[in-house]
Amino acid sequence: MQFENIENSNLVKQLQDFNQSHVLQFWNELAPTQRKQLINQLETFDFQLIDSLTQLASAESPWEKIAQAAEVPPAITLAQQSPDGLHYQHARATGTEALAAGKVGMILVAGGQGTRLGFDHPKGMFPIGPVSNRTLYQMHFEQVLGRSRQFGVRIPLYVMTSPPTHDETTQFLTDHQFFGMDPADVNIFCQGVMPAVDKDGKLLLETKSSVFVSPDGHGGTLEALARSGCLQDAKTRGIEHLFYGQVDNPLIQTCDPALVGYHLNSGSEMTSQVVRKTDWSQKVGNVVSIDGKVQIIEYSDLPEQYAKQTNPDGSLKLWAGSIAVHLFKLDFLERSLTQADSLPFHLANKKVPFLDASGTRVEPDQPNAIKFERFIFDLLPLAENAIVCEVKAEDGFCAVKNAPPAKSETPEHVKNAISDLHGRWLQAAGVELASGIIVEINPTFAADVETLKGKIPTGTKIAESTYFK
């Protein structure tokens, strides 16, 4: 086929070499602006990379071999975290000092498309406060604000969006005046995208003048932090550690001083919060140690026989489940940027609508495409002294993933989890709660039980659903 007025002959050659010329099949029908749009997009693609990733789809799975060597990671377990114990108190004191010295910042990733939830806006805009109806964004921003006030310091917040969520998120946060945070402390940065391919390795057209692309996974955080200047901004502010959380988990113990302390006291470059798996088949990433390096094996990659291994007392050997809460040393992130392939791409079979050769849009009902995503937790094996830190799931993890009638991770589950958690905080602070009521605490009122104790007199009785703010 002859392409009218196409200037970039090198690109045409690359498309031919990599068997992707079909993306120009509607070229001769396109208006000049559409042609420019298509060329601009194609020029951002690394065809060699896409080709080599596609080859991986037919490669033999390496996981059986990796799983054979999987041992338990170095951990601070709940048993070691007794609030009266010296270990915990030392960690809390160290973390408090670092926080009060302004050495900790927060990354919130919100670039996902929330397809399972089926909400028409960025997921952070989803209302989740059980009494207040606050959105996920408001909850996270106020958590950062609560910690800032608790430690008398400015904690910068870096929010990662993606091309599909960026503009609406920026508008929403601006309209709500960043929920009380100083705009100078909020940085919104956008992650990159990757194209998908069909089962034959061919790029998929979304329109006649654009190829389908989607966010490049939460692992895109590393590159996007650097490209956007956010890493430099953090450094300039004197930040030494970045706390990382995902927008769909409102239970995150944002910048928890004890976690920061364990991380510092262990000289860890990357610390991950984990829950103790309740069942071998629980759908969380398995945090393990292989040849002395901590790493995560996705639940779908860990062969059953290894997931089922038990200790002599019957408990699960590979017990640590990732909840996607991490703490990074900033120097470590900088070093990882210089290491080629520090974050490999993972392949996932997904349904991707596309234009067929006749220009008709096809909505597949089965996975028809391979998407390529990077995962942030792949940084773990590169980190020196990486540790995991156990948290009770009900205290730190309940993510909004699914729309009803799903049986788990629905908005209703998450609202109940928030009310239950805050109810436990109130009881720990000596407050009596009538049964069946819903409670919610704004973190600017109290960021944790410790702070709550100073706010509400012991013996206070709460008879109806209440939002403490």
Scanning residues 372 to 401, which ones bind ligand UTP (CB under 6 A)? 401
Choose, by CB under 6 A, the member of 185, 248, 269, 390 that binds ligand UTP: 248
Residue at 226: amino acid letter: A
Report the distance separating Cα 174 and Cα 171, nearest Å.
5
- The answer to the question of residue 218 lying near ligand UTP (CB under 6 A) is yes
Measured between its terminal Cα atoms, the distance across the chain in Å is 66
- The answer to the question of residue 247 lying near ligand UTP (CB under 6 A) is yes
Nearer to ligand UTP, 95 or 164 (CB): 164
- The answer to the question of residue 217 lying near ligand UTP (CB under 6 A) is yes
Nearer to ligand UTP, 131 or 186 (CB): 186
Options 85-93, 145-153, 243-251, 349-357: segment touching ligand UTP (CB under 6 A): 243-251
- The answer to the question of residue 115 lying near ligand UTP (CB under 6 A) is yes
- The answer to the question of residue 349 lying near ligand UTP (CB under 6 A) is no
- The answer to the question of residue 112 lying near ligand UTP (CB under 6 A) is yes
Options 204-212, 216-224, 385-393, 437-445: segment touching ligand UTP (CB under 6 A): 216-224
Region of residue 305 (left: phi > 0; alpha: psi -120 to 50; beta: else): alpha
- The answer to the question of residue 411 lying near ligand UTP (CB under 6 A) is no
Q: Are 398 and 414 in contact (CB under 8 A)?
A: yes
Residue whose Cβ sits closest to ligand UTP: 112
Options 5-13, 36-44, 212-220, 434-442: segment touching ligand UTP (CB under 6 A): 212-220
- The answer to the question of residue 166 lying near ligand UTP (CB under 6 A) is no
Per-residue DSSP letter, 135: B
Query: How many positions of this chain bind ligand UTP (CB under 6 A)?
Result: 21
What is the closest distance, in whole angstroms, from the C-beta atom of residue 222 to ligand UTP in the complex?
12
Long-range contacts of 403-411 (CB under 8 A, 24+ apart): 403/116, 403/117, 403/118, 403/119, 406/116, 411/126, 411/128
Options 4-12, 242-250, 304-312, 315-323: segment touching ligand UTP (CB under 6 A): 242-250
Nearer to ligand UTP, 200 or 363 (CB): 363
Q: Which residues contact 190 (CB under 8 A, 6 or more apart)?
A: 111, 160, 161, 162, 163, 166, 224, 228
- The answer to the question of residue 215 lying near ligand UTP (CB under 6 A) is yes
The torsion defined by the Cα of 117, 121, 124 and 128, in degrees rounded to 10, comes to -60
Q: Are 330 and 231 in contact (CB under 8 A)?
A: yes
- The answer to the question of residue 123 lying near ligand UTP (CB under 6 A) is yes
Treating both helix axes as pointing N-terminal to C-terminal, what angle do 330-337 and 220-227 enclose, rounded to 10 degrees? 90
What is the closest distance, in whole angstroms, from the C-beta atom of residue 114 to ligand UTP in the complex?
5
Helical segments of 205-363, H only: 220-227, 230-236, 257-265, 304-307, 330-337
Nearer to ligand UTP, 225 or 255 (CB): 225
- The answer to the question of residue 170 lying near ligand UTP (CB under 6 A) is no
Options 7-15, 213-221, 262-270, 343-351: segment touching ligand UTP (CB under 6 A): 213-221
- The answer to the question of residue 157 lying near ligand UTP (CB under 6 A) is no
Choose, by CB under 6 A, the member of 157, 160, 222, 380 that binds ligand UTP: 160
Q: Are 374 and 112 in contact (CB under 8 A)?
A: no
Dihedrals phi, psi of 228, to nearest 5 degrees = -80, -10
Per-residue DSSP letter, 179: G
CA atoms within 13 A on the CB side of 211: 26
Q: Which residues bind ligand UTP (CB under 6 A)?
A: 109-116, 123, 160, 162, 191, 215-218, 220, 246-248, 401
